[in-house]
């Protein structure tokens, strides 16, 4: 895959532009000129507006959960963009039409076939990359350090330079929750009276209730991405969230959701439910024992936003096993499984156990 993909041309030299997360600008690959995103968007505004007017119909809503709108890719936005469907895992990745997509970031499949953009919802929001490829490689290199049982060959054979920036599809859920509970609280005190230990227990009728608002609780909409990976690289700072624009795509791939808002809602609901329950339980302190009598927790899902969030990904295969690394493209938080060199584990165990056995034998002789 080419390192850079393009959607816009440089006004100075017509060279390809790519979004640079460090500067927050679109930078020309050829002459080095840099432009504000708004300035480049303004150059394409008329063309996009005309295409939007000509667009036919509205897209079907992604789910029963309401969205403020259901925009589709306009002709101007889709111009020069293709989606590629991986025949192995089914990932659908949006990138420039000139990109030779040679590796799927999810499964590492080397052959990626062409597809279309039509009929897919356009995201409402995008969170631009802040960390560039050099920073991602440096972070992954640091992640390797100190891993005593990591095979030496793995570092040189896992193609760390092939790490790819991918905008992963997320559903961001808003909800209102209310909770109430009734508990029996107990405080016990013991003291000695002669030969007897006397324990006095006081019982309390404890009642609690409250409400909470949830905003943009994230759940990834890609079945290919392990949920544990996405949960582990949270949180994202929504302060940098932008209305979606294709101006942020150059230089990166963008995955399309294959699980709609309804399919992902259960995970979001469970997270909100557990958070509400924890907050309710946290108010019942001050008792030596607390016993629940009844609880009623209600979470009303009110809205689902479709957004693309930045993730650096590296899929690698070593000794017929797959390893997937994911890194938050905004904060650098990283998660990934590493192989274990059994021979190094055995050597370490022998280095520890043999001296211990010698000491034990010496003590027995004494």
> Which pLDDT does position 43 carry in this prediction?
76
> Which pLDDT does position 113 carry in this prediction?
44
**pTM for the full predicted model:** 0.73
> Which pLDDT does position 6 carry in this prediction?
34
Pairing of strands 164-193, 196-220: antiparallel
> Which pLDDT does position 8 carry in this prediction?
61
Q: Which portions of the chain are predicted below pLDDT 70?
A: 1-8, 13-16, 44-70, 73-81, 87-88, 95-103, 108-120, 146-149, 151-159, 161, 318, 339-366
> Which pLDDT does position 102 carry in this prediction?
47
Burial 152-163 (b: 16+ CB within 10 A, else e): eebeeebebebb
> Which pLDDT does position 7 carry in this prediction?
44
DSSP structure string for 59-83: PPPSSSS--S---B--HHHHTTEEE
Residues 6+ apart with CB under 8 A from 361: none
The strand pairing partners of 167, in sequence order, are 254, 310
User: Are 105 and 313 spatial neighbours (Cβ–Cβ below 8 Å)?
Assistant: yes
Helix (H) or strand (E) holding 350: helix 342-365
> Which pLDDT does position 358 carry in this prediction?
58
> Which pLDDT does position 2 carry in this prediction?
35
> Which pLDDT does position 345 carry in this prediction?
47
Say if residue 118 is exposed, middle or buried (CB neighbours under 10 Å; 0-12, 13-18, 19+): exposed
Domain borders along the chain are 17-172+214-259+304-344, 175-211+272-301
> Which pLDDT does position 174 carry in this prediction?
96
Average pLDDT of the chain is 77
């Amino acid at each position: 895959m080419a390192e850079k993909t393009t959607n816009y041309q440089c006004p100075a030299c017509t060279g390809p532009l790519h979004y640079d997360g460090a500067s927050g600008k679109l930078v020309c690959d050829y002459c080095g000129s840099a432009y504000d995103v708004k300035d480049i968007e303004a150059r394409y505004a008329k063309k996009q507006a005309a295409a939007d007017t000509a667009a036919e119909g509205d897209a079907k809503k992604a789910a029963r959960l309401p969205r403020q709108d259901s925009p589709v890719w306009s002709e101007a936005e889709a111009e020069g963009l293709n989606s590629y469907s991986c025949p192995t895992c089914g990932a659908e990745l949006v990138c420039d039409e000139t990109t030779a997509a040679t590796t799927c970031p999810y499964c590492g499949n080397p052959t990626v076939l062409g597809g279309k953009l039509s009929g897919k919802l356009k995201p409402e929001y995008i969170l631009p990359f802040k960390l560039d490829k050099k920073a991602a490689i440096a972070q992954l290199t640091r992640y390797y350090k100190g891993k005593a049982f990591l095979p030496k060959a793995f570092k040189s054979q896992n193609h760390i330079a092939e790490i790819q920036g991918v905008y992963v599809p997320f559903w961001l859920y808003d909800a209102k929750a209310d909770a109430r509970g009734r508990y029996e609280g107990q405080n016990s005190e013991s003291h000695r009276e002669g030969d007897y230990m006397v324990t006095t227990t006081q019982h309390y009728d404890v009642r609690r209730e409250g409400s909470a608002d949830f905003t943009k609780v994230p759940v990834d909409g890609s079945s290919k991405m392990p949920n544990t990976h996405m949960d582990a690289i949270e949180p994202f700072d929504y302060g940098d969230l932008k209305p979606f624009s294709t101006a942020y795509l150059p230089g990166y791939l963008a995955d399309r959701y294959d699980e709609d808002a309804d399919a992902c809602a259960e995970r979001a609901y469970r997270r909100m439910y557990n958070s509400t329950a924890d907050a309710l339980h946290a108010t019942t302190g001050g008792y030596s024992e607390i016993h629940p009598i009844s609880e009623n927790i209600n979470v009303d899902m009110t809205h689902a936003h479709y957004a693309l969030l930045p993730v650096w990904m590296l899929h690698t295969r070593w000794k017929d096993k797959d390893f997937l690394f994911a890194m938050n493209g905004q904060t650098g938080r990283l998660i990934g499984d590493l192989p274990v060199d059994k021979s190094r584990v055995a050597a370490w165990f022998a280095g520890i156990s043999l001296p211990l056995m010698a000491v034990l034998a010496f003590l027995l002789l004494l």
